């Protein structure tokens, strides 16, 4: 069964209610060139993963949202009613990035879905191009300080 996660973006990460509650943690990615860090909100419940970054109009430059599962999943993401383009990286149980995908806003059905085509335990969304600009590639490793 394909799990569709509604993902939309609309306000700077720092002004979000979860951010005010201290829900932002560093996610460090070890690349061939060194380490890069995103400050991420955590979505680890079904409701948080379903809501994602909905209702936001922007995302701070080095901010994102990490989606976590306790066991491997194969669900796809979608960008229904998203206002800004995003890039998403998926990682496996070994904390290795298995796929990075560009996702475009979608305001009408049917919206395309985005998935790595293999099981994953985590995914992180950032502004479009963030992973590319920071030299992040499949095989790089993720460390989440949660």
Instruction: Provide the residue range defining the domain that includes 51.
Output: 4-144
Average pLDDT over the chain, rounded to whole?
Answer: 84
CATH number of the domain where residue 96 is located:
2.60.120.1140
Each residue's pLDDT tens digit, 72-82 = 999 999 888 77
pLDDT above 70 for 2: no
Q: What's the pTM value of the predicted model, to 2 decimals?
A: 0.83
Phi and psi angles of residue 23, each rounded to the nearest 5 degrees, phi first: -85, 15
Residue 21 CB contacts under 8 Å (≥ 6 apart), including other chains:
none
Please state the separation of Cα 137 from the chain's center in Å. 15
Please state the separation of Cα 93 from the chain's center in Å. 16
Each residue's pLDDT tens digit, 91-141 = 999 999 999 999 998 878 898 999 999 999 999 999 999 999 999 999 999
Task: Look at the chain and report how many structural domains it folds into.
Answer: 1
């Amino acid at each position: 069964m394909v799990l569709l996660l509604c993902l939309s973006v609309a306000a700077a990460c720092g002004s979000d209610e979860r951010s005010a509650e201290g829900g932002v943690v560093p996610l460090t990615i070890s690349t061939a060139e060194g380490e890069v860090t995103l400050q991420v909100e955590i979505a680890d419940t079904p409701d948080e993963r379903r809501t994602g970054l909905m209702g936001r109009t922007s995302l701070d430059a080095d901010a994102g949202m990490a989606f976590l599962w306790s066991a491997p999943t194969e669900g796809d993401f979608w960008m229904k009613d998203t206002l800004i383009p995003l890039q998403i990286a998926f990682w496996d149980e070994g904390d290795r990035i298995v796929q990075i995908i560009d996702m475009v806003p979608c305001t009408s059905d049917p919206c395309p879905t985005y998935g790595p085509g293999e099981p994953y335990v985590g995914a992180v969304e950032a502004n479009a191009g963030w992973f590319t600009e920071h030299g992040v590639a499949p095989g790089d490793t993720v460390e989440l300080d949660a």
